[in-house]
Amino acid sequence: MIFPRRLLLAAKLIFSIGLIWYVASKIDFDAALAQLRGARPAMVLLVLSMFYLQICAGALRFREFLKVFDVPFGFLQSLDTCLIGSFFSQTMISFVGGDTMRLFRSVGSGVPAKLAAKALVLDRGSGFVVQLALIVLVLPFLLPKIPDAHMKASLVLAVIAAAGAAAVVFLLARLPGALRRFKVLDIIADVSDRVLRRIGTAGGLLAFFGYSAVMALMNVVIFYAIAQGLNVPVGFLDCLVLLPVVFFLSMLPISISGWGVREGATVVALGLVGVPSSSSLAISISYGLGLVLVNLPGGALWLFAKRRHETAVPAEDAPLIPGATHAKD
C-alpha cells in the first residue's frame, strides 16, 4: 500500500511541476517576478489577515458539522485542528494529509473516529456544493466571455455532472431499508439524512452552507486584493464571475495543493478579460505563497503538541533500565 501511495504522490508532484513549467514557458516569467517584487506591504498584511479570517470560518464550519452528530467541540479546539490540517494540506501529501491530521487531532480531543471522519466528509462536501452553486450562479455571465464553443460545452457538461453527483448523495437519505444492509450505503444514507434534517430549518441551513459561502467568496476577495496590490487592472465583478471555476478546478485531487492547476486556470480565466498572462501568474503564485505562509503556525502547533505528547510519558511506560529505550513497532 505504501508504494502505490508514493507513486501517486510522485505523479501529483510531477504533474504540478510540469503544469507550472508549461505555463511559465508560455509567458514572460521575468515580468511576473518583477510584478511580485512590487507588491505593496500594506496589501500583503491585508491579504494575510483575510486568509486567517478564512481559517476561522473553516473552524466554525468544522464545529458545525460535528454538531450534526451531537459532538460538542469548542471553537479553539476546532481552530487548532484546522490550523494543523491546513498546514499539512500545503505539503506534498496535499488535502488528503490535511484531512488525516484533522482526523487524528479530533480523535486526540476525544471525538470518536467514526464521527470525526463523517464530519470531515461533510466539510469537504459542503465546500464542493457551495463552490458548485457559485459556478451555477455566475455561469450566465461567464459563458458569454468564453469565445471557444467547445470550452463552453465542456464547462456546462462538467457542471451538470457535478450537480448530478451531489444530488445523488442527498437522495441517498431516502435509500430503501433493503439497500442499507450494505455498510457503505448505510453510512452515506445516515449522513445524508442527518444533513437534510439539519438544513430543514433556516438557522441550520445558514450555518451549514453559510460558512462555506463565506470561505468561497473570501477566495475571490483575496484574489482581487492581491491583484490590486500588484497593480493589475481587473475588476471585482470580473473576479467574481471568472474565479469560481478556477477554485473548483484547484480542488480536484490531481496536483499538490492545487499548484499548477490553479496557475494554468487563472491565466486562462483572467485572459478572457484581457489580463496579461504574466500578471495572472503573479496573482496566482502570490495566492499560493500566502497560503503557505499563513499555515506555518499550524506546523508549529503540531510540533509543540507532538513534543508535549512525547514528554508526557506515564511512569509505568518509562524504561526500567536507565538509558534504555522503548522498542519501536
> What pLDDT was estimated at residue 23?
62
**pLDDT band with cut points at 50, 70 and 90 for residue 313:** very low
Q: Is 258 left (phi over 0), alpha (psi -120 to 50) or beta?
A: left
pLDDT at residue 315 above 50?
no
Mean pLDDT of all residues in 37-50: 83
Per-residue pLDDT band for 320 (boundaries 50, 70, 90) equals very low
Please give the pLDDT value at position 234: 92
* Average pLDDT value for residue range 108-114: 90
Domain residue spans of the chain:
27-305
Mean pLDDT of the chain: 80
pLDDT digit string, tens, across residues 192-233: 777 777 776 777 777 778 999 999 999 999 999 999 988 898
Q: Which three cell numbers stand for residue 165?
A: 453527483
| Residue range 230-278, pLDDT digits in tens | 889 899 999 999 999 999 888 877 777 778 889 889 999 999 999 998 8
Rounded to whole angstroms, how far apart are CA atoms 174 and 315? 52
pLDDT in tens, 63-82: 988 988 889 999 999 999 99
Lowest average pLDDT, out of 25-29, 166-170, 322-326, goes to 322-326
Alpha-carbon distances of 202 from 63, 198, 205, 206, 309, rounded to whole Å: 18, 9, 5, 6, 42
Amino acid occupying residue 292:
V
The three cell numbers locating residue 299: 506546523
Angle, helix 75-89 to helix 41-67, in steps of 10 degrees: 120
> Which pTM value belongs to this model?
0.79
Note whether 232 and 279 are within 8 A (CB).
yes
